[in-house]
Structure 1
Amino acid sequence: MGKIGCSVDGNLNESKFSEPLPWIGIYIAVASLACAIVMAADLIHGFRYRKLWFPSKYYSLNATSLTLITVAIKFAVDLNTPMPRRIDQLAKLSSSTLICTLMGNSMPSLGTMENEEIWMNIIALGILVITVIANICIQLGTGVIYLYWKEHALIMFLMLVLLVILSFSALTVPTTKKYLEFKYKKKYEMAVEECSNGCDRAVEKKLREDLMKYWMMAHTCSPQFVIGRSVTCTAAGALCLLSALTLAEAMLRSYLMRGSFKFCNGESDYKWSTILVLILQTIAIGVGTIAPAIRWFTAVNFRCPTIGKKSGRKEFKVEKYWTQFLVEMKEYPFTIRIQNRQCRKLAHGAKDQIVDLCIGMQIGIVLASKVIRFISVYFMSRILLFCRCCKKLMNCNPNRSIDSASDSQPSSKPDLSRFVLHLEGENELVELMMKNNCDATEHWIQHGKKKQPKHLIELLEKSSSALHGVREFDSDLVLSLANEEPPHCWALPVVTLTAIAVAVPNTSSCLRKQLMRSVHEGLMYVKLIEDNLHAESDMANIMKAAYTVWLGVDLYHKWLDVDLNKMSFQAESTKEALEGLADAAKYRYVEFKKTYVNQCLLKESPSKWPIKVLAANSMYRISQTILQNYERSNIQSSERLFEALTIMISDILAACLTNLQRIISLKCFSSSVEVREESVRHAVFLLGKTEKILKLVNQKALPSFDPDGMACINEWRAFQKTKNQLPFSPSSTENETASSDLRDLHLNIE
């Protein structure tokens, strides 16, 4: 009988049921700690990227966070576990307060969601909040919660108000997204027109100035930033701060005024785990209150100097976009199919009444939020003005006139106010948003410069003036292994040439390591270019072959299963190494062909061949081309061959990287509104990393292609063949001597 929960005499063994509760308390504490960590991550992210409206990058309203909240607030919904001690009662209150904190932090995340996702998450949150409020009311009635009832009542009220604010703020998201997307397209066209008028500037300088405009537009129309600077988000920050202060008041009063409280005797079934939960939830509330409080304080600080200059009517005006979605919903015809005409009429009328009620509630929420902001400004303005007066008195000194004279000088920063995207009623924020973000582009460019690909830049400096290596790595005189050749991509020739360079005997290990590091850095940018410009083409399989082969070359110095280091050490001559690679490639091609021919894979387009077949075909053609020209040259030296291969790799990379300018520009417009700010920031950061590369490649003799032609290596090869150019030679002055010595060695296929 004891095994099924009963004692020997048949009575329930109640003590057995409560044994797991301390471990459940640890489970609650871990969930609370997880909430604290993600909110702290958002806080650090906001400070690091100087976004004091604190976007929700790590913590957002979704199924995972709602599940986490449900676990973390178990104390608040536990109806029958006795909680007699001071710590137990405070843990009940902290669980309720944590919900307010989490709702205040999750508000900006509404901007990143699709419409259906918003409604599903808001409904789920509403069910959770109503359940918590109902359970707390039951516990107040049964006596499980017998202290801090006033604090609980206030927290429940704040919880409900925050839920309403979140719900009705979500109604503005579709409208503001649509409106700001329309404005972004118009401003983008204006920016492109202005950018086209400055063609005489250097490419990197032109991109820098253009990106300042794109960044200002992308940042100010970011859906999270739009919600973060809204009046409802400001009010939510104030309410979140008030909930944290309520918990702090209860804790201080409990420990400083011990005589005014009478606690029950006994111990909670959660035992020692209650203390752990209270500590971690208090930390989570403290950390999570910082971001909403700063949003509130920033809005108050900005409004303090202008509160007296604005009329009351303008201050409490409800802008059109707050109710636009509901108005459109009211005008939209009723779509539910009802046969009876009278029932359709009643349903249509009920719909209009409900929407009118929602419009009234929306107006009321916006007005209440503006009242909260007005009251906050009224009381905080005295303190802030006093602080400013003290600061002015402290700064009064004889040299102040010199400082003021220097401050009065016109700023060299460009006026980007026309590129600030704002909603109705945000005209006063334009100047503030421009000043706070004018330096952001320069900041990220400088940050990018600290992470420049130094090894890649050193390699590109060796490239020839006309980038002949793009043409010369593959000769038309080499007999094909197949009837039809696959097209070239940028990455596969680079990887194949690097593998050949590693296999060349009697070369310095330092030079080989340097080349490998340079190619590793270069392929990251090649992949970025090919993924963006050839994403929908038939080159995907060829690019996959390139990066699969590079993984083996980079990590293990192996091309497929051929050990390149072993070949380099065992080969008696350079010719033997090249012949060995060509034979190995041909052998593997034949073996792979036998394997795949029964699967009819080789009957497909050559670009869809298996990646090992593509890699073998590339190695055979390139190694045969190099072998033919090596035998034809007068100077048969491993060092010179390695140098020629290095220059050829540099040429191909330089030709590919001419597309970086286009990639940077594409990132400013091709992304969706939810991620556009991050995309433009990455474009600015990329410009900082590649500014020197852009200078180097734009000094070359580049063909006059259209953008699609510049992105295709086959177009480059066709153009260079028609021009019948001379073999490539290093472009820099210090390489001219080497050019004359290597003339016979460079790959002349004419």
Structure 2
Amino acid sequence: MCSRYCIDDYEVYMQKNLDAPMPWIGMYIAAASALCSLAMAFDAFNGFRTKKFWFPCKYFSLNAASLTLLGVAMKLTVDLTSSMMGLNDKIATVSSLVLISTAMCNFVTSLACMDNNECLLNLTALGILVFTIAGNVCIHNQQTSDVLDDQVVLAEEMATTIFMLLLFAILCSWSVAVPTTRRYIESKYLHKHKIALDEGGESSTGKFSIEELRVIVKKYWVMVEIGSPQFVMARSAISGTCGVMCLLLALGLGEAHVRLSLLYKAFRRTGSNYKWSIDWILIIQSTGVVLGSVAPLWRWFIAARFNICKTGQKSWSQKLKIEIYWTSRLVDWKEKPLSVQIRHHNCRKLLHDAKRLALNICIRVQILLVRVSKLVLLISSTCASAVFLCFHRIEKLNTYGTRALNDTRDLESGAEVELELSRYVLLLEGEAELPKKILTNICKEVDKLFQKGRSNRPKSLIDLLDMSGNFSGVREFDNNEVPSLHSQEPPNCWSLPVVTLTSIAISLPNIENHKVKRLLHGVSEGLSVRNLD
């Protein structure tokens, strides 16, 4: 008996020692959640600062770093050994699930900037994390099904898990369409580029007036901005559905906070091994959900605004039509012969039929997801049409007020320029026309850059160009073939040869210091202009 008591005391003592650092592990989870939340907040702030309301992913995209942080932040959902008996413990498990779903909504546009291999690797890693979390949630609920206290957030946990799996399916669905949409946008860009060259008269004289050069810059600026892969993704039906799901998830977390606080007042606040750190995890993750919901909701707004332009012009069947770029890649895979060489005819035929069956299922799932996304976007844009109409009326009033103050001739010339630039908008098949407000904002952005260049003239760069005798080397270096809009390294990158030549020039002996400094200042200003965002 004495030995058994000693063993029991020893096990209690060991368990107490093992549980001692758990609050600090909880703070580690809170820190990872805070980093994810801050990255999503910085993306939202950057979108507002640059007036790119499709919120391109700059700080928080689908990569190894963000997945590692999410894996740490999701420890509560994969911990099957700790008893989460406190009220905040239970809400924290829901907030963890909502946080990863919100992060996946923010990941959507970043897929548009990845190549095929990078996209496959990142989605595979995300899938492992998502299915691990879903499996652990199901196991935990199954093992604790007889305990009433562990079932108070069952509905929220299961609903959030289903949403998480649906969001992963949506990410996979969009990743299949990304290469086709890239090729489509790129082909339209090449076509518009040829039109811009023909209209500019570059082949005859090669010289432009300042006003002609200003219009040409605006043409290419419009093509690059509208044809941006992340903007193409942000205005799609998939992005709108992610925004709706993000809103529902945030509301579900808020409901869990209110319901559990009202119905289970007698519960203790914390009852797990994480102790006081659970409060920090809950506060940080709930704040992260709020901050992370900004970008998906604004993308939903952008997608609805695009879609509302065509709601009354087509029938329902046309509105829900599935464009070919959604399924063309899957169809190509289905028709492509097997790369594995199998000599046995029956085995080869069986494997080929299995592949066709699997891809037929994938095609049907893809069509279902896209059609449901289009339906969700159509319903949301129809319901929000009254709101958009109010905004449109207010914009009209502001426009009339502006016309009363400004010169009529300037407005007419600006309208003519915008009408000309509208021909250079790059849209996918089936997309609505670009709202005039977006095109106007793009033109204003270019005008601001022109004004900034006027006020902050690069004097050293101008002096450097004035000393240049001719630009024959530029013509030799330049290439008539336009590189892909989405290539990470264009064939002719100006920065590296300019920096290399500058390094050689300043390393030559017997060169006066003031000339070296002038050259460095001129090149520095040129590089800053080239890298201007």
TM-score normalised by length of structure 2: 0.82
Q: State the one-letter code of the partner of 1:176.
A: T
Q: State the one-letter code of the partner of 1:180.
A: I
Matched with 2:273 is 269
Matched with 1:635 is none
- The alpha-carbon distance between structure 1 residues 367 and 96, as it changes in their structure 2 partners (threshold 3 A), is same
Aligned CA RMSD, in angstroms, stands at 3.8
> How far did 1:271 drift?
1.1
Asked if residue 289 in structure 1 is aligned to residue 302 in structure 2, the reply is no
> How far did 1:355 drift?
1.0
Aligned partner (choices 412, 427, 433) of residue 410 of structure 1: 412
Asked if residue 249 in structure 1 is aligned to residue 255 in structure 2, the reply is yes
| 3-state secondary structure, aligned to 1:171 | helix
> How far did 1:373 drift?
1.0
| 3-state secondary structure, aligned to 2:497 | coil
Q: Distance in 2 between matches of 1:534 and 1:301?
A: 41
Asked if residue 186 in structure 1 is aligned to residue 191 in structure 2, the reply is yes
- The alpha-carbon distance between structure 1 residues 38 and 451, as it changes in their structure 2 partners (threshold 3 A), is farther
| 3-state secondary structure, aligned to 2:293 | helix
1:32-181 → structure 2 map (5 Å cutoff): 32-143=33-144, 145-181=150-186
Report sequence identity in percent: 36
- The alpha-carbon distance between structure 1 residues 372 and 449, as it changes in their structure 2 partners (threshold 3 A), is same
Q: Residues 417 and 430 of structure 1 are in contact (CA less than 8 Å); yes or no, is this contact kept in structure 2?
A: no
Matched with 2:481 is none
Question: Which moved further from structure 2: 415-424 or 204-213?
Answer: 204-213
Q: Distance in 1 between matches of 2:401 and 2:391?
A: 22
Q: Residues 235 and 369 of structure 1 are in contact (CA less than 8 Å); yes or no, is this contact kept in structure 2?
A: yes
> How far did 1:268 drift?
1.8
Q: State the one-letter code of the partner of 2:44.
A: L
- The alpha-carbon distance between structure 1 residues 409 and 135, as it changes in their structure 2 partners (threshold 3 A), is same
Q: Residues 467 and 651 of structure 1 are in contact (CA less than 8 Å); yes or no, is this contact kept in structure 2?
A: no
Matched with 2:3 is none
Q: Distance in 1 between matches of 2:409 and 2:257?
A: 49
Aligned partner (choices 378, 383, 388) of residue 379 of structure 1: 383
Asked if residue 532 in structure 1 is aligned to residue 500 in structure 2, the reply is no
Q: Distance in 2 between matches of 1:91 and 1:534?
A: 50
- The alpha-carbon distance between structure 1 residues 265 and 424, as it changes in their structure 2 partners (threshold 3 A), is closer
Matched with 1:228 is 234
Q: State the one-letter code of the partner of 2:100.
A: I
Q: Distance in 1 between matches of 2:279 and 2:209?
A: 62
Structure possessing the higher relative contact order (Cα contacts under 8 Å, 6 or more residues apart): 2
Q: Distance in 2 between matches of 1:274 and 1:196?
A: 67
> How far did 1:431 drift?
5.0
Aligned partner (choices 204, 207, 224) of residue 218 of structure 1: 224
Q: Distance in 1 between matches of 2:344 and 2:280?
A: 61
Matched with 1:366 is 370
Q: Distance in 2 between matches of 1:159 and 1:259?
A: 27
Q: State the one-letter code of the partner of 1:153.
A: M
> How far did 1:444 drift?
2.5
Q: Distance in 2 between matches of 1:88 and 1:411?
A: 63
> How far did 1:184 drift?
1.6
- The alpha-carbon distance between structure 1 residues 77 and 682, as it changes in their structure 2 partners (threshold 3 A), is farther
| 3-state secondary structure, aligned to 1:308 | coil
> How far did 1:534 drift?
7.3
> How far did 1:335 drift?
1.1
| 3-state secondary structure, aligned to 2:318 | helix
1:294-693 → structure 2 map (5 Å cutoff): 294-304=298-308, 306-385=310-389, 410-413=412-415, 414=417, 415-429=420-434, 433-454=438-459, 532=494, 535=497, 540=500, 543-546=502-505, 615=508, 618-619=509-510, 683=530, 685=532
Per-residue deviation, residues 301-323 of structure 1 (Å, max 9, x unmatched): 44446423332111111111111
- The alpha-carbon distance between structure 1 residues 94 and 230, as it changes in their structure 2 partners (threshold 3 A), is same
- The alpha-carbon distance between structure 1 residues 202 and 20, as it changes in their structure 2 partners (threshold 3 A), is same
> How far did 1:340 drift?
0.7
| 3-state secondary structure, aligned to 2:274 | coil
Q: Residues 82 and 268 of structure 1 are in contact (CA less than 8 Å); yes or no, is this contact kept in structure 2?
A: yes
- The alpha-carbon distance between structure 1 residues 8 and 51, as it changes in their structure 2 partners (threshold 3 A), is same
Q: Distance in 2 between matches of 1:399 and 1:135?
A: 60
- In structure 2, stretches of 5+ residues that fail to align are 1-5, 471-491
Q: Residues 445 and 684 of structure 1 are in contact (CA less than 8 Å); yes or no, is this contact kept in structure 2?
A: no
Q: Residues 448 and 685 of structure 1 are in contact (CA less than 8 Å); yes or no, is this contact kept in structure 2?
A: no
- The alpha-carbon distance between structure 1 residues 8 and 88, as it changes in their structure 2 partners (threshold 3 A), is closer
TM-score normalised by length of structure 1: 0.60
Residues matched between the structures, number = 496
> How far did 1:161 drift?
0.9
Question: Which moved further from structure 2: 110-119 or 176-185?
Answer: 176-185
Q: State the one-letter code of the partner of 1:36.
A: S
Q: Residues 23 and 274 of structure 2 are in contact (CA less than 8 Å); yes or no, is this contact kept in structure 1?
A: yes
Q: Distance in 1 between matches of 2:432 and 2:54?
A: 18
> How far did 1:195 drift?
2.2
Q: Distance in 2 between matches of 1:534 and 1:305?
A: 45
Q: State the one-letter code of the partner of 2:303.
A: A
Q: Residues 163 and 245 of structure 2 are in contact (CA less than 8 Å); yes or no, is this contact kept in structure 1?
A: yes
Matched with 1:278 is 282
Q: Distance in 2 between matches of 1:354 and 1:187?
A: 39
Q: State the one-letter code of the partner of 2:449.
A: W
- In structure 1, stretches of 5+ residues that fail to align are 1-5, 469-529, 550-614, 624-644, 664-680, 687-750
Matched with 2:473 is none
